[in-house]
């Protein structure tokens, strides 16, 4: 029997052995959903449907401007929001942390995890299917799932997957981008017949949308790409924003600082931080003494109260979380 076919059969049998229940299963990404997490849910739900399982995509909050732009450019619909997952059966994509999961996830049955981050704290006593790869986009992993299950990728799904990879890897320029991301990216662009020039134009529109905060409150801006973490017993929120207007960067930083106390209170976290990238630099914002201690242990003394200047761009997953983890262990 060919190895590829054997793999497909093994994976299918593994899925069949799971307790799917009798209700619809929801594929869903993390809170403050970004493009990779939304497209991952859509594509993986489609794969499960083609394998005969009752799975639908959902999102754990409002889609951000970049994701709305991607949906328009690539021609896909955004899934409905799932407000409370209590008592439901879930497939988690693009995360495996309880603090990042949809409300009610602690009282849900976790059936599968598909993620490109480190292993989180999700615990499940029953059988679970998990696939975790160190790649730049969860959509890259899901592409390999289609291949392993020997399921054809339609052009509509190819567009969804490519949108996720474009965003997750910042058009293959992000630090976490791997050779597998590049191979999958190339295969998808060839399938839907998009040239490099057209892709640059598409990504440029997505990038503009990501930096467009028109009509948003400062609190909405801060939370538009924020994730919660629990490390060594300490719970904190870390926002990640891009702001390219050098002339008004100081004003923007202070606007974010001003809203951080409310975000901290509303999110019930212990500390709060934000990484603001501006061209080739980053600013680490923090609120309260405990957060200052961690931020300065990781990145040196503050430039101003609540602000640490870093002379290069920082990546949340690759740079900041490891640095904060080390500081929290001291």
d(CA 222, CA 276): 10
- Model confidence at 8, in pLDDT bands (50, 70, 90)? low
Range scoring the smallest mean pLDDT among 34-38, 75-79, 301-305: 301-305
Query: Which residues 6+ apart lie within 8 Å of 296 measured at CB?
Result: 302, 308
Between residues 319 and 118, which one has the greater pLDDT? 319
pTM > 0.75: yes or no: yes
- Model confidence at 195, in pLDDT bands (50, 70, 90)? confident
**Residue range 33-62: mean pLDDT, rounded:** 97
- Model confidence at 12, in pLDDT bands (50, 70, 90)? confident
Model confidence at 2: pLDDT above 60: no
**Residue range 239-247: mean pLDDT, rounded:** 90
Q: Identify the CATH assignment for 218-328 out of 3.10.310.20, 3.20.20.70, 3.30.499.10, 2.30.30.230.
A: 3.10.310.20
Question: The tokens 């923090």 sit on which residue?
Answer: 286
Model confidence at 24: pLDDT above 60: yes
Note the pLDDT tens digit of each residue in 135-194: 999 999 999 999 999 899 999 999 999 999 999 999 999 989 999 999 999 999 999 998
Q: Would you say the CATH fold of 218-328 matches that of 3-205?
A: no
Model confidence at 126: pLDDT above 90: no
Between residues 244 and 39, which one has the greater pLDDT? 39
Mean model confidence pLDDT for the chain = 92
Domain ranges of the chain: 3-205, 218-328
Calculate the alpha carbon distances from 57 to 27, 41, 44, 45 in Å: 5, 5, 8, 6
Which is it for the CA torsion 30, 278, 139, 128, positive or negative?
Answer: negative
- Model confidence at 123, in pLDDT bands (50, 70, 90)? low
CATH T-level fold of 3-205: inorganic pyrophosphatase (n-terminal core) (3.90.1640)
Of all residues in the chain, what percent carry a pLDDT higher than 70? 95
Radius of gyration of the chain (CA): 20
Note the pLDDT tens digit of each residue in 78-101: 999 999 999 999 999 999 888 899
**Residue range 257-281: mean pLDDT, rounded:** 94
């Amino acid at each position: 029997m060919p190895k590829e076919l054997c793999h497909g059969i093994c994976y299918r049998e593994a899925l069949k052995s799971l307790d799917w229940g009798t209700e619809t299963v929801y594929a869903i990404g993390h809170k403050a959903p970004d493009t990779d997490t939304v497209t991952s849910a859509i594509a993986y739900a489609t794969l499960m449907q083609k394998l005969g399982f009752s799975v639908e995509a959902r999102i754990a909050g409002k889609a951000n401007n970049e994701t709305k732009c991607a949906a328009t450019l690539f021609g896909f619909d955004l899934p409905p929001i799932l407000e409370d997952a209590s008592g439901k059966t879930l497939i988690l994509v693009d995360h495996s942390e309880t603090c990042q999961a949809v409300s009610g996830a602690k009282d849900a049955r976790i059936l599968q995890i598909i993620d490109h981050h480190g292993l989180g704290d999700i615990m499940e006593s029953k059988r679970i299917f998990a696939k975790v790869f160190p790649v730049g986009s969860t959509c890259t992993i899901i592409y390999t799932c289609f291949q392993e299950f020997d399921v054809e990728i339609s052009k509509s799904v190819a567009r969804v997957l490519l949108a996720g990879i474009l965003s997750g890897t910042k058009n293959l320029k992000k630090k976490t981008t791997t050779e597998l991301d590049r191979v999958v990216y190339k295969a998808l662009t060839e399938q839907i017949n998009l040239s490099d020039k057209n892709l640059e134009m598409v990504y440029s529109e997505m990038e503009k949308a990501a930096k467009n905060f028109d009509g948003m409150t400062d609190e909405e801006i801060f939370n538009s790409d924020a994730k919660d973490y629990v490390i060594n017993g300490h719970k904190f929120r870390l926002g990640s924003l891009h702001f390219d207007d050098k002339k008004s960067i100081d004003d923007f930083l202070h606007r974010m600082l001003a809203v951080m106390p409310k975000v901290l209170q509303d999110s019930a976290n212990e500390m709060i931080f934000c990484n603001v990238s501006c061209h080739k630099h980053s600013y680490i914002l923090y609120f309260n003494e405990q957060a200052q201690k961690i931020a300065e242990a990781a990145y040196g003394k503050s430039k101003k109260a609540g602000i640490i200047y870093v002379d290069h761009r920082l990546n949340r997953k690759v740079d900041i979380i490891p640095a904060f983890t080390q500081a929290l262990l001291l």
